[in-house]
Amino acid sequence: MNAISVLLLTGAGIGLFGLMSSVRVITQYERGVIFRFGRVRSGVRGPGLALLLPLADRLRKVSMQIITMPVPAQDGITRDNVTVRVDAVVFYKVDDPVRAIVDVEDYHAAVGQVAQTSLRSIIGKSDLDDLLSNRERLNQGLELMIDSPALGWGVQIDRVEIKDVVLPESMKRSMSRQAEAERERRARVITADGELQASAKLASAAETMAEHPAALQLRLLQTVVEVAAEKNSTLVLPFPVELLRFLERATPPEASNAPSAHNGRTIPRPAPAPGILDVDPVPPTVERATC
């Protein structure tokens, strides 16, 4: 009785172990490829439970997620003979699980090697300016170069991006000097344009002041107000000749004290006030009346 119980327990244990070994769980983002005696069974198992024949079936799981693979930095010489160091990143996913398992030994390593060789090739075909400023076109070309062999492995390239371009120190200094010279040129051009516009405005203002002398006086008064705001103790102000001419024209002529003839007789000058000596520096002249 005891021997029979031991045999039953042993059989139950072997059956339980066989059942556990024949059941596999496939997650949502995976697909299963089943090999029965070394041959691929038709169809790919989806997510859920997969029942296998013990000692006959073997399950290989393939992830269908997008895989991010960094490409190591590659040294290369551009078409304009500049040594650079470029690294990139490749985003890909498995499109056909059967081909990814059967047609290539390790699709992840294969994609990595193709990405490195393609990156070296794209560096040699491009100029330095393209690597620095026209990366979108280079990314598209690099994606096509990697995607062509990857399609035969059941792998689809989703995206390729160039991460960084490392330049030699001498090239960095040359580019810095070039950028500085360009900024200096722009600054000089802007300064020259400002001086040209200012000179045109000053010429227009000079013409306006020449036509209207009162504008010069107003400008002088405005200058006095601006200088007085500085709270200076001494103010030295130039007196323009144009302002003197303007005041001379604006002042009415004084009344003449010389005698004038009226109706054939001489009109004497008014007598000076008491206490004031009237000295005439010029001898008086007598005007004769004309008939």
Q: What is the per-residue pLDDT for 255?
A: 44
Query: Of 87, 82, 103, which is closest to residue 160 (Cα–Cα)?
Result: 87
**Per-residue CA distances from 112 to 68, 91, 157 (Å):** 11, 11, 12
Instruction: Quote the CA–CA distance of 52 and 34 in Å, as a whole number.
Output: 8
Of 78, 80, 108, 75, the closest CA to residue 93 belongs to: 108
Cβ-based burial of 95 (10 A; exposed 0-12, middle 13-18, buried ≥19): middle
Based on its alpha-carbon atoms, the radius of gyration of the chain, rounded to whole angstroms, reads 52
Q: Tokens 């009237």, residue?
A: 278
pLDDT at 124: 87
Question: What SS3 class is residue 36?
Answer: strand
Enter the DSSP assignment of 152: G
The pTM for the full model equals 0.57
Tell me which residue has tokens 């001419």. Answer: 245
Got the DSSP string for 70-129? EEEEEEEE-TTS-EEEEEEEEEEEES-HHHHHHT-S-HHHHHHHHHHHHHHHHHHTS-HH
Decide if 85 contacts 73 (C-beta within 8 A): yes
DSSP secondary structure, 188-231, as one string: HHHHHHHHHHHHHHHHHHHHHHHH-HHHHHHHHHHHHHHHHTT-
d(CA 109, CA 116): 11
- Each of the 291 residues of the chain gets a pLDDT tens digit; together they read 567 766 666 766 666 666 666 778 888 888 888 888 888 887 788 888 887 777 788 888 888 899 999 999 888 888 888 888 999 999 999 988 988 888 888 899 999 999 999 999 998 888 888 888 888 888 888 888 998 888 888 899 999 998 888 888 877 787 778 888 888 889 999 999 998 888 888 888 878 777 777 777 777 777 777 766 666 556 666 666 666 676 677 666 654 444 444 444 444 544 444 443 444 444 444 343 333
Please tell me the CATH code under which domain 66-167 is placed: 3.30.479.30
Please answer whether residues 210 and 181 qualify as being in contact, where contact means their C-beta atoms are separated by less than 8 angstroms.
no
User: What is the predicted pLDDT for the residue at 232?
Assistant: 57
Contact 65, 111 (CB under 8 A): no
Identify the helix (H) or strand (E) that includes residue 9. Answer: helix 2-21
Q: Which residue has the tokens 């983002």?
A: 29
- Say how many C-beta atoms besides its own lie within 10 A of residue 32's C-beta: 22
Q: Which of 161, 158, 164, 120 is nearest to 139 (CA)?
A: 161
Residue type, 85: R
pLDDT score at 91? 94
The CA distance from 53 to 22, in Å, is: 6
